[in-house]
Amino acid sequence: MYKVLYRKYRPNNFNEVVGQETTVQILKNSIINEKISHAYIFAGPRGTGKTSMARIFAKAINCQNPKDGEACGECINCQNFNNSPDIIEIDAASNNGVDEIRELINNVKLMPTSSKYKVYIIDEVHMLSQSAFNALLLTLEEPPSHVIFILATTNIESVPITILSRCQKYEFFRINDSLIANHLEKICKTENIEYDREGLQEITSLADGGLRDALSMLDQLSKEKTKIDLNFVIKELGSISLVKIKDLVNSLDANDLDKTLAIIGDLKKTNLNYKIVIKKIIEILSQKAVDVLQNGSSKYLTYSEIKRIILELNDCLNKININVNPYIIVQMILLDSFSLPTGPNPEPKQESKKEAKEEVKPTVREEKIQPETPKEEKVATKLDVSNIKKIRVNNCFVAADKDILNKLKNDWSQLLNLASAPIKGLISDTMPVAASKEFAIIACSVPHQDQEINENLEKIENEFQSIFKKSYKFIGLTVADWQKEKEEYIVKIKSGYKYELLDESKLDNQTVDMERIAKDLFNKEKIEIN
C-alpha cells in the first residue's frame, strides 16, 4: 500500500528531526539526567515537528535501554511503541468537550500496562473548551507519577495562562529554507524523483517553514512523472516566479506606472493565491530596503516608502475582506508610491518640499466663491450623495498632496482609537488614500461601507474636528471606485487638464446643475444630460 511521503519520512528519533536542534538537545539532556517533567507544551507553526517530537520523546522515556537520550529501538517497549496502549494521542479539535476530558481524567489513574510512563499527547490543545481546560487543570498540576502530558498547539495565545504555568514550554520555529530544500533533495534521490534545485527551492518557499507542507507538495508533484523544475512547480501549485516580482518592484523604483499596472493586471488574471504573491513582494522589497540602506541603490523609492509598503502589505494579509478582490488592495498600496502628477510633465519625486508645495497650490476659479457657513455645510451633506461625491473627489484632486495625506493617515489611526463607538464602527477597515488641506477621499474595503460613511459625513467630520481641532470634508469610495477615479485623474492630467475648485454650497436639495458640474469635471463644451 502506498504511503504518502510526509508519513513515510516522519522522523523516528531525535537525530532525524529537522531544524529544531535546541529543543532536541534539551529533551535529550533531560532523559540522560533523568529529569522528566510531568507536563510539556510544544508550540509553533504547523508542520514544524511538534507531534513527531512528542512521539519521539514518549518513545525515548519509555525505552528500557536509552543511549545518550535516544531510544535504543531494540527493546520490547521500542518494538511495540506504535501499538502501545500506554501512548494515548488525542485530537483536541474533535474531542474538545468537558466529557472527553473527564474520561481522560478517570483513565489517568490506571497504571501503564507495560511501559514506564503513560503518555498523553493532546494535539491542537488550544481547541479545548474553557470548561474542558478547567477540568484538566487540577490533574495537569498534580498528575500521578506514572503520567506525562505533552500538549501541542499552533496557537499558544489561546491556551489559558493557568495551563501554561503548569507546563515546560518549548518553542518550535519555522524551519530554515535551506534545510528543507536539502531534505527534499535527499528524499528525491532516495525515491528516484527527477528534479532541479530551483524547483525544490520554490516548493520550500511555498511551504513557509513547514516541512510537512513541503513533503505534501513534493508528493503531489511527483505523481506527474515530470521533472520537478521551477516552471512545473509554478504551473501546478499556483505560484509565481521571483523574476516577475522583481520586475514589479523595479517598475515601482523606476516610477513606471504603465508597467506596474500591466504586471498587476497580469496577476489579477491568474488564479494565484494572493497571500503567496504578497509574501514574495514583501521578500523582494525587504531586499531592496537593505540595498537602499547599504548602497543607496534606488532610483525612486526611499527606505521609508519601502517600509510603508511592506507594513501595509503585511497588514492586508490579515485584513482583506473575502468579498473584495485582494489584488485591488495590493494595487492600491503599490500605486500609492506614485506621486499624483501636477501637470503633463510631472517633476521627479526627489523635488524639494518647497517646490512640491508650489506645484500643488490650488487653482481657484475666477468667479468669486462664497465662503461656506456651518449651515451650508450641513445642507450639503444631505444632498444627493452622487453629486457630493463628484464635487469632493474633484476638489481633493485640485491640491492633493502626499505629505498632507501621510499626516492625515496618522490622524485617522488615532481617530480609530479616540472616536466614539458609533464612529469607530463606521470607519473601521478604511483608510485615507488622497488628501488636500480641506478634502480627503476615504477608501472602504467592506461592501456598502462607503454608503454608510457618506450618509453620516457630518457626524464623522464633527468628531474629527472635535478631536483634532481642524476641519475636513470627507467622501467615501469603494476600493474599486477609488482606483477608477485615480486612473482617470492620471489620464486627464497627462492630457493637460487642470482641476478647479467647485462650490458645493451652491447646491440645494431640490435642483442640481448637473450640466455645469459635468463641464467643470470633463471640460466639454456640449454635454447631453439624459
Over residues 25-30, the mean pLDDT reads 92
444 part of a folded domain: yes
Does some domain include residue 1? Answer: no
pLDDT at 358: 45
In the block, cell 534545485 appears at: 197
Instruction: Say which CATH number the domain at 40 has.
Output: 3.40.50.300
Q: Could you tell me the residue range of the domain that residue 192 belongs to?
A: 177-237
Which of 130-134, 167-171, 456-460, 504-508 is predicted with the least confidence, judged by mean pLDDT?
A: 504-508
400 phi/psi in degrees, rounded to 5: -60, 135
pLDDT for res 100: 84
Burial of 47: CB neighbours in 10 Å, binned 0-12, 13-18, 19+:
buried
φ, ψ (nearest 5 deg) of residue 431: -155, 145
DSSP state of 125: G
Residue 230, φ and ψ in degrees, nearest 5: -60, -50
Residues 286 and 218 in one domain: no
For residue 205 the three cell numbers come to 518557499
- Specify whether 199 is located in the same domain as 247: no
The pLDDT of residue 79 is above 60: yes
- State the DSSP H helix or E strand holding residue 431, giving kind and residue range, or none if neither: strand 430-435
Average pLDDT over residues 381-395: 74
**Complete edge-to-edge strand list for the sheet that includes strand 473-478:** 430-435, 439-444, 473-478
Q: Does residue 129 share a domain with residue 272?
A: no
Kindly compute the dihedral angle of the four CA atoms of residues 511, 515, 520, 523, in this order, to the nearest 10 degrees. 180
In this structure, the answer to whether residues 274 and 223 fall within a common structural domain is no
Final residue of a structural domain among 192, 207, 237: 237
User: Is residue 274 located within the same domain as residue 422?
Assistant: no
For residue 322, name the pLDDT band (cuts at 50, 70, 90).
Answer: low
Backbone angles phi, psi at 70, to 5 degrees: -100, 145
Does 388 share its domain with 513? yes
Residue range 43-48: average pLDDT?
90
Residue 363 lies in a domain: no
Does one domain contain both 143 and 97? Answer: yes
Say if residue 141's pLDDT is above 70.
yes
pLDDT at 476 over 60: yes
Residue 317 lies in a domain: yes
Q: Using pLDDT thresholds of 50, 70 and 90, give the confidence band for residue 30.
A: very high
Question: Tell me, what CATH number does 197's domain have?
Answer: 1.10.8.60
Tell which wins on pLDDT, 38 or 528. 38
Q: Is residue 202 domain-shared with residue 320, that is, in the same domain? A: no
Angle between helices 402-418 and 457-468 (to 10 degrees): 90
Please indicate, yes or no, if residue 330 is contained in any of the structural domains: yes
Specify if 314 maps to a domain: yes
The verdict on 328 and 469 lying in the same domain is: no
CATH code: domain of residue 444: 3.30.300.180
Domain end: 150, 171, 192, which one? 171
User: In this model, does residue 84 exceed pLDDT 60?
Assistant: yes
Contact between 39 and 149 (Cβ < 8 Å): yes
> What's the one-letter identity of residue 29?
N
148, 228: one domain: no
pLDDT in tens, 209-226: 889 989 999 998 888 778
Label residue 319 by pLDDT band (50, 70, 90). low
Give the angle subtended at the CA of 350 by the CAs of 348 and 353, to the nearest 5°: 110
Same domain flag for 160 and 217: no
Taking a C-beta distance cutoff of 8 angstroms, is the pair 199, 232 a contact? yes
The predicted model gives 457-468 an average pLDDT of 89
Domain count, the chain: 4
